[in-house]
Structure formats: C-alpha cells, structure tokens
Amino acid sequence: MSIPNDATPCDNETTLADVKRWVKEFSVAREWERFHFPKELAVALAIEAAEVMELGRFKSHADVADALRHPEHRRAWAHELADCLWALVRLADVCGIDLASALDEKLKLADRKYPVDQSKGRHDKYTAYQEEEKLDLVPGGISSRDPN
Ligand SMILES: [Mg+2]
C-alpha cells in the first residue's frame, strides 16, 4: 500500500494519479482485477451514488446541513463519497480514461452549452436558452427573459 501509515492524505496534496494507484494496489493485492469489468464498476458507482442519496432521503436541505455538522454523520457522508471516488477512479483506470483530461473537455463543452450570461443563477437545462433564442428570433416572439 502506498499510503503512508503515519500520514493522512488530503486533497491539496494528493493527485488523481495517486488515488488511482492506491485503489489499483488495493485491488491487485486482493486479486479483484478479475471482477473489475467496466460494466460492473459502473454498477458499483451507481450503487455508491445511491448510498449517498440515501443519507439525505426524506431530509430537508436544512436537515442535511445540520447532519453534516455532526462528526458521525459527516463521516458517513465522507465514507460514501469515498466509495464513489473509489468506484469512479477504478472505472476510469480500467477504461484507460484520464479523468482530468475528460473533466477539462466536459467543462469546455459545458461552458459552450451554459454561457455565463444566459445561465447565471438559473438551473434549467441548456435547451431552455435555445428555446428562448428561437422565440427571440421570431418577430413578436416572447422570451421568458423579457421583463414585460
Ligand atoms: Mg458505500
């Protein structure tokens, strides 16, 4: 295991490559590579994401915020998020996908889909902006951005 026993890693000092290596070494030591097919890891990621959702099930935003102030609940959230990260980095590694590069590409694509001037403070899908632009192009069209 390449995680030093006497040190607690932190986000500011850990790279995605480090995380990928830790998870791979953990898996190899247990001969789990034979189970780590992309589909199985994708299923594991979905299950772990559901476990995160379960922590907030039937709770208001305020209830979740309050729970996160308590160490035992915060630890439960941290563990489920770590499970998600585990599955995500293992899946990316098995697929030969560089996550930083993939995220960079997706952020650039999202920047085009969600221009700041149109999306700031809004939560609707980018297609809503396209619909508004179509309405703006129609003579006499009414845009939801129109104040009148
Ligand atoms: Mg879990």
- pLDDT band with cut points at 50, 70 and 90 for residue 148: very low
Written out in words, the top-level CATH class of the domain with range 6-97 is mainly alpha
Q: The tokens 């939560």 sit on which residue?
A: 123
CA of 52 from ligand 1 middle (Å) equals: 8
User: What's the average model confidence in pLDDT over 113-141?
Assistant: 84
The predicted pLDDT at position 136 comes to 76
Neighbours of ion ligand 1 (CB under 5 A): 48, 51, 80, 83
| DSSP-assigned letters across all residues of 15-62 | -HHHHHHHHHHHHHHTT-GGG--HHHHHHHHHHHHHHHHHHHTT--HH
Asked if the model's pLDDT at residue 64 lies above 60, the reply is: yes
Cα–Cα dist 74/67, whole Å: 7
Instruction: State the average pLDDT for the chain.
Output: 91
Q: How far is the CA of 133 from the centre of ligand 1 (A)?
A: 43
User: In angstroms, what is the span from residue 78 Cα to ligand 1's centroid?
Assistant: 10
> Contact, 2 vs 25, CB < 8 A?
yes
Q: Where are the domains of the chain?
A: 6-97, 99-141
At residue 68 the predicted structure's pLDDT band, cuts being 50, 70 and 90, is very high
| pTM score of the predicted model | 0.84
Q: How much is the average pLDDT of 44-59?
A: 98
As a whole number, mean pLDDT of residues 5-25 equals: 93
| CA of residue 100 to ligand 1 center, whole Å | 24
Distance (angstroms) between ligand 1 centre and the Cα of 15 equals 22
